[in-house]
Amino acid sequence: MYHIVASDLDGTLLTPEHNIAPFTQQVLKQFYQQGKHLVISTARHHCNVTKIQEKIGIPSYVISSNGACIHDRDGEMILKQELQSDIVRDILVQSQNMPELQIYIYSDDLCLVNHIPHNPDFDYQHFDLNDPPLNHVIKIAFTTNNGSVDCLNSLQDKLNTTLRHKVNMTFSTAWCLEIMHSEVSKGHALAIVAQDLGFDLNHCIAFGDGMNDIEMLSMVAKGLVMGNAPDNVKQALPNNTVIGHCQDEAVAHYLHDHLLVN
């Protein structure tokens, strides 16, 4: 019996336009009314999940920044794992001389950027690369200004050489490299949430579409991979069931067809 549903947002629970569709909203409310628990598990900063929670309309735990932070149903933080300041410095130093990189630093209640985001759907502040924040950093993410992933792969290789085992690096999308504390993952955060609710991962079902979902989808009793997930995610989880596309509300349809009590 699954008592907890954990779901990624972008590319999974949300439509390609980053919205909660009406059928998904309806199913999640029915699921909650039947005594089940929703856990939002996302790479987003927790501050940029609030509007989605309001649209869903039910209480939910939030695992944010790929597991670096956890907030309970009342919005209280129950976990925060920060990168050490010397590691933050090393990461930023090694990203120098790569002008195409766009940097996002997640720090407490702020998302700090070194550029002007295109059509942002989140709140942000600018930081100076010559005087970057080093303390209370929970995640650093890199994208590029030209859509190329070559420099992201190059940066990952450099950081693997110097910071292996000191950080957890993952791609939330093919064009976004994210770096957290070495003990951070969505899967480990979900284990903490499950325990807080009086369950364990054997009572969890999870949905995701990215490489940052791998731990979560492999650790729960049943991990479902989105049909729109890239091939490397499906190849990393060859024994996991693949469902439909996020544009067709595949998560909601799976919950409706398999878990809701009629």
Alpha-carbon torsion (159, 161, 165, 169), positive or negative:
positive
Q: Cα separation of 151 and 147, whole Å? A: 10
In the residue annotation, 8 being an active-site residue is answered as: yes
- Strand ranges across the sheet with 176-181: 125-126, 110-113, 101-107, 137-144, 176-181, 167-173
In the set 8, 10, 209, 213, the catalytic residue is 8
Do residues 106 and 122 make contact, with C-beta atoms less than 8 angstroms apart? Answer: no
- In which order are the strands placed within the sheet that holds 222-225? 77-80, 69-71, 61-64, 37-41, 4-7, 204-208, 222-225
The H or E element containing residue 235 is: helix 231-236
Answer for the pair 168, 83: CB distance below 8 angstroms, yes or no: no
CA distance 229 to 227: 5
- Enzyme catalytic residues: 8
